[in-house]
Amino acid sequence: MKKMILSKFTIVALGATLLGSCAKKLDLFPTNDLTPQTTYATPEGYKAVLAKIYGGMSTTGNAGPAGASDIQGLDEGSQASFIRGFFNCQELPTDEAVVAWNDQTIQDFHALRWTAGDPFLLGMYARPVYNITISNEYLREATDEKIASRGITGAAATEIANTRSEVRFLRAFNYWVMLDLFGKSTFVTEADQIGTALPREISREELFAYIETELKAIETELQPARSIEYGRVDQGAAWALLARLYLNAEVYTGTGRYSDALTYAKKVIDAGYELHPDYREVFMADNDKAANEFMYVINCDGLRTQSYGNTTFFIHAAAGDNFADYGTNGGWYGYRATSALTNKFADLSGNTDQRAMFSNLSNATINALSDFSQGVWVRKYVNIRSDGGQVSDVNREFSDVDFPVFRLSEMILIYAEAHLRGGGGDLATALAQLNRIRFRAYGQSYGPNDVGRILSSDLNLQFILDERARELFWEGHRRTDLVRYNQLTTGTYLWPWKGGVASGTAVDDKFNLFPIPATNRTANPNLSQNTGY
């Protein structure tokens, strides 16, 4: 069985007694009925809450797949979860994903026609703010003074103090999600007293600066890169988030920071991370074996983190009658890709690129979005172990596949793009690093006739965007990438059913950002709406 973070403490064991109804309400005015005197009385109590903070990225409540939801009033599996909600926002509006279902407003995502009343967006706004709220509470209770006042000393006190930087990273990551998706956020830190005033709104420029400052502050406090328990964050994660933040700085603030993006991508590249030899195994049930490739993963376990909103969603929603190929017990006949994605893989009929994990290519044309038999089936995440062993949930309902948030490949691609955008570095390094990706992609070779090898003449920004699609599809990058290249809403690049039209069409530029949910603005007049909504 794979090693779980904080393995002595399962997420579901926290129970309502630990976290009560902290920040459950949809108005997202952070409330708190924790009792610190009991919750944080022992080192074990701190570890349990730390597990909950990490677990909030993969679970939706304190009772497994359903019941005792962190966020009430929404569907727990489809609307209150992080991974599934993030995927809907980052992949469904793009060429990489369409959905057959007609559940509430889910079809609006690929059509780029969502509104401020969308329940899926309400959940996606709620989840990061909930995660931020419990992070703030932990930071309030993990000061040196609070720890000492509870009689916790020695190694136990040091261990708790050291976790503060991890929690600050997770809070910064959740704020980055808000920055990228909504362009602004409800803003609360551990310095704010809960219940005394409505939270203020933080602008995109302010939020960028806050995230940058936090990550730079904890950079030397986190454990050295590649030194911490699998599933927890160290310096490598902070460097990776800074690289991603700086790559998109021109979108976020109007000022490019490509030199900084390259600097932090290089820190990761030089830290000793390695590409796992087999690309396909990076997304299998025992992908913890690819730990040397990851800066941060969200741990998922078929017994300990049961949820319909983590990678369990991938293995069911992408499957139909062929569900056994995904290592699960049933298909949901839901998500697939458009032909625009597979067109980026040359001549799929004879392609040896291992990343082309597609089927149903003869039916790639989508005439009806609701017909799962039309479109490209994606078999990237599979609840099957590379060693042929048994997955943890013998019923194969819930997934063991850990979700990769930051991988070495992304850092290599950031280096190359930042170089091409004038961020420094050198072409030879960019080319050599990109060819590490290609060598792995073609099965530790460059394929027949060196078809996979990248030459200096190949390198331009559009090539990098297309290579990001080939390497990172269905990992939560595509919308951000298309916004950065000004291709999400414009007519520069069209794909099937973009804008709700079979051949694709341009849409209003307001859809480069999601609206602030109307429910939040009703509850908190301090929140303003994004332009156009």
The DSSP bridge pattern shows strands 98-99 and 403-407 to be: unpaired
pLDDT at 334: 98
Report the CATH number that the domain containing residue 503 is assigned in CATH: 1.25.40.390
Burial class (CB in 10 A: 0-12, 13-18, 19+), 428: exposed
| pLDDT reported for residue 34 | 53
User: How far is 445 from 272, CA to CA, in rounded Å?
Assistant: 21
Could you tell me the end-to-end alpha-carbon distance of the chain, in angstroms, rounded to an integer? 48
In-domain check, residue 5: no
> Rounded to whole angstroms, what are the CA distances from 39 to 33, 36, 64, 177?
11, 5, 21, 29
Going by C-alpha positions, the residue among 23, 25, 207, 42 that lies closest to residue 132 is 23
Q: Give the residue from 293, 276, 300, 277 showing the smallest Cα distance to 225.
A: 293
Domain annotation covers residue 1: no
Consecutive H or E run containing 407: strand 403-407
DSSP-assigned states of every residue in 218-285:
HTTTSPPTT-SPTTS--HHHHHHHHHHHHHTHHHHHSS--HHHHHHHHHHHHTTT----S-GGGGGST
Q: Answer yes or no: is 253 within a domain.
A: yes
* Residue 46 within a domain: yes
* 3-state per-residue secondary structure call for 318-353: CCCCCHHHHCCCCCCCCEEECHHHHCCCCCHHHCCC
Q: Give a three-class secondary structure readout of 463-519.
A: HHHHHHHHHHCCCCCHHHHHHHCCCCCCCCCCCCCHHHCCCCCCCCHHHHCCCCCHH
Whole-prediction pTM = 0.95
pLDDT recorded at residue 291? 98
Using a CB cutoff of 8 Å and minimum separation of 24, what contacts does 16-20 make?
16/62, 16/68, 18/45, 18/48, 18/49, 18/52, 18/62, 19/49, 19/52, 19/62, 19/70, 19/134
- Pairing of β 335-336 and β 358-359: unpaired
Report yes or no on 326 lying in a domain.
yes
- Element housing 408 (H / E): helix 408-420
Distance CA 334, CA 317 (A): 5
Helices (H), 113-189: 119-141, 144-149, 154-182
pLDDT of 121: 98
Could you give the number of structural domains in the chain? 1
Task: Please name the amino acid found at residue 361.
Answer: L
DSSP assigned state of 2: P
What is the domain range of residue 490?
11-523
Query: What span, in angstroms and rounded, lies between the C-alpha atoms of 505 and 113?
Result: 12
**pLDDT tens digits, the chain, 533 residues: what are they?**
344 443 323 333 343 334 433 444 443 444 444 567 789 999 999 999 999 999 999 999 988 898 889 998 999 999 999 999 999 999 999 999 999 999 999 999 999 999 999 999 999 999 999 999 999 999 999 999 999 999 999 999 999 999 999 999 999 999 999 999 999 999 999 999 777 789 999 999 999 999 999 999 999 999 999 999 999 999 999 999 999 999 999 999 999 999 999 999 999 999 999 999 999 999 999 999 999 999 999 999 999 999 999 999 999 999 999 999 999 999 999 999 999 999 999 766 667 899 999 999 999 999 999 999 999 999 999 999 999 999 999 999 999 999 999 999 999 999 999 999 999 999 999 999 999 999 999 999 998 889 899 999 999 999 999 999 999 999 999 999 999 999 999 999 999 999 999 999 999 999 999 999 999 999 999 999 999 99
Report if residue 6 sits inside a domain: no
Tokens in use for 413? 């691609």
CA distance 244 to 443: 28
Residue 87 CA from chain centroid, whole number: 7
Compute how many other C-beta atoms are within 10 angstroms of the C-beta atom of residue 241.
Answer: 24
The reply to whether 45 falls in a domain is yes
**CB of 471 closer than 8 Å to CB of 409:** yes
Which residues, other chains included, contact 48 with Cβ-Cβ below 8 Å and sequence gap of 6+? 9, 13, 14, 18
Please enumerate in sequence order all residues whose Cβ is within 8 A of that of 113, keeping only pairs 6 or more positions apart, or say none. Answer: 499, 500, 507, 511
In a domain, residue 529? The reply is no
Which of these, 339, 332, 331, lies nearest to 363 by C-alpha position? 339
* Tens digit of each residue's pLDDT (9 = 90 or more) over 14-37: 433 344 334 444 434 444 445 677
Kindly report the CA angle at 474 between 470 and 480, in degrees rounded to 5?
A: 85
Return d(Cα 459, Cα 233) in angstroms, integer: 33
Predicted local distance difference test score (pLDDT) of residue 349: 65
